[in-house]
Amino acid sequence: MIELLDLKIDVVFKSFFGDKNSKEFLESFVNSVLGLEGKHAIQVETLSFPSYDRTPFPEVSLTTTKGDCYIIKMQAHIHEGFDRKLLYHLVKNYTECIDLYPSAPISTFHMINIFDDYRFEEKSLLNGTHYLETYSLEPESGFSDKHLFDQWKVTILDLKKFGNRSLNELKTTNEKWLHLLKNAPCIIQEEANNLKKEPIFKHALKRLEDLSLDPSKQKAYKKSLSALRDYLSILASERAAGYEEGCQEERLDIAQSLSSQGVSPQQVCDATGVSMEEIDAIRG
């Protein structure tokens, strides 16, 4: 069995979904994830990737034959405050999509955020047992038949909450795509053979196998993986530094409160860990 590269890593994600012959993969993925069938199913017209790399987390932009725009974003973790910044990302990506396709009027704009880990959060953005949720925006008041926000939708897909399932437990195309996205490097020959019984996954696995055997892709993959680890390490260090700073501020606040209540400097020092010099400065 060929050891498959991880589809969540940017160079693999872009090469797999961004190849001119891979539009069928994106169509199958988006349609199955969003439950689009029949006349509602998408057909990819154009696709592109950002010309810049802000982080090691890839995204692909596509338009459909009906003039809809979809952004698929792959993120290795949910950073702190992402839920509060989600609307900002939606508006920003909507603006970028308009700039990218100025001659194509957008009838629907849908951002799909895929997460595999939430290192800095004890909880997922999603509640309960759901691993996939879609949101739309509606005005609280107004009488117009068509509103700008009617175009906007956001889907959050949590691969970690999807969990680890055996192939025998996977019943739908959606579940099989998520299994491939989450577990490509761990797929064994028996699983691969079963997946290949379906034409779309036969083609997908062949494409991923070719990428995994390509020396240039292997080299770029290792570089991307290293960059991702460095990025996450920096984030962890920055968070740790911010945590220590926050703890120190909290200790000083407690020390000030104790001092104002007449507690002796030594007792304040013993209780909070604040130095005697800092306590003297607090007492003025």
Buried b (16+ CB within 10 A) or exposed e, 212-233: beeeebeebbeebbebbeeebe
Q: CA–CA separation, 48 vs 18, rounded Å?
A: 7
pLDDT, one tens digit for every residue, the chain (284 residues): 788 999 988 889 988 988 777 889 999 999 999 999 999 999 998 888 765 555 567 888 888 988 888 999 888 666 666 776 777 777 777 887 777 767 666 778 899 999 887 655 556 677 777 889 888 876 666 656 666 677 788 999 988 888 888 888 888 999 999 999 999 998 989 889 999 999 999 999 999 999 999 999 999 988 888 877 777 676 666 666 555 555 566 667 667 766 665 667 776 776 667 788 888 887 76
Decide if 106 contacts 151 (C-beta within 8 A): yes
What is the pTM (predicted TM-score) of this model? 0.76
Amino acid at residue number 234 = I
Residue 169, Cβ density class (10 Å: 0-12 exposed, 13-18 middle, ≥19 buried): exposed
Q: What whole-number distance in Å separates Cα of residue 208 and Cα of residue 185?
A: 10
Residue 115: in which H helix or E strand, if any?
A: strand 109-115
